[in-house]
Amino acid sequence: MYASIALMVSLLGSWGSLGAQWPFNDTQSMASSDLVSKSLWAEQLSISLLPSYSVQPDQDLVPNLCLQLLHEFANISSDLSNCLASAAWPVRVCQLCYKEYAHLKAIMNRIGSPLQNSTLSCAATLLRSDRVQVIVALNDFFDDLWKDAKCANCLETNNTGILNNTARFMKSFELLVQCFNRTMQEPATPLQKANYSEVCQECNESYKDLNEQYTKLGHTSALCIDLEDAMNSTRRLWSKTFNCTLPCTDTVPVIAVSAFILFLPIVFYLSSFLHSEQKKRKLILPKRLKSGTSMTHVQDKST
């Protein structure tokens, strides 16, 4: 360490002596040329002194490996951004971009882990070497978007594949869309309203099945943005565009409950009336008994 400092001081001293011996011209161009030469020489001098501070032989390989990881992160970030933008409508980001996202997380894991045959990592160089922390900011952006889309609900652990429930729902959705396209009738003229009654009849069972699947997935917290967007668009088509309604299968219980509620006032007033009549009887009966006993007492006296 002290030898390196002494070497630096001696070199700087020799640079000062050389600078005193450099010829100067009165012209402006020569002066600027000398300044450029001196600055380049000083820069080369400072760079030449850097290897003297190396403490491990394999540390010279770290910048090259970190630079390779940086290029891989840049490429996969570009691929993931392109996939997310392409799958923004209709929303299919979880199903179409999970491979790129898993690759991105794998590269971030490699950046934070020690390199092969070394105790060093690229985290300090790539993640914490600047104030902005570009790589960290990009990784956080992708993580927040992935979390907001709730993609983990539709994918297997570590984003390795699509869940069977998700694939089954999307298959039913595709069948329903095919039914819409097959039975949909366009209006003859722009002023004529389309007749979608056939769509409501032919696609009723498919729509009912898809709606039931969506309800079950919602109860188990297995919904992501892909399924929510597919169901919302389907419901808009069914109710607003096709003007269809889903028939209620629980009509008998609904009618029974409604009839019971309507019958409650009648039961209340009837019970109130019967109860009041019973009280009147209880009040009149003692008077009759009293009059009867008084008449018996009078007859007894007369005899």
Q: What is the pLDDT of residues 182-221, one digit of tens each?
A: 988 655 455 556 678 889 999 999 999 999 999 999 999 9
Q: According to the model, what pLDDT value does residue 87 have?
A: 97
Summarize pLDDT for 86-111 with one digit per residue, the tens.
999 999 999 999 999 999 999 999 99
* C-beta neighbour count of 21 within 10 angstroms: 7
Which tokens hold the place of 232?
């919302």
What is the C-alpha separation between 59 and 61, in angstroms, rounded? 5
**Which is nearest to 75 in space by CA: 104, 95, 102?**
104
Measure the CA–CA gap between 209 and 72, rounded to whole angstroms.
44
Q: Which two tokens mark 1?
A: 């360490």
239 alpha-carbon distance from chain centroid: 26
Query: What angle, rounded to 10 degrees, do the helices at 204-219 and 164-183 form?
Result: 160
Task: Give the residue from 178, 183, 149 showing the smallest Cα distance to 166.
Answer: 149
pTM for the full predicted model: 0.64
pLDDT at residue 65, rounded to an integer: 87
Identify the band that residue 124 occupies on the pLDDT scale cut at 50, 70 and 90: confident
Mean pLDDT of the chain: 77
232-277: pLDDT as tens digits: 999 999 999 999 986 555 555 667 777 778 767 887 677 776 667 6
In which residue are the tokens 């009280």 written? 279
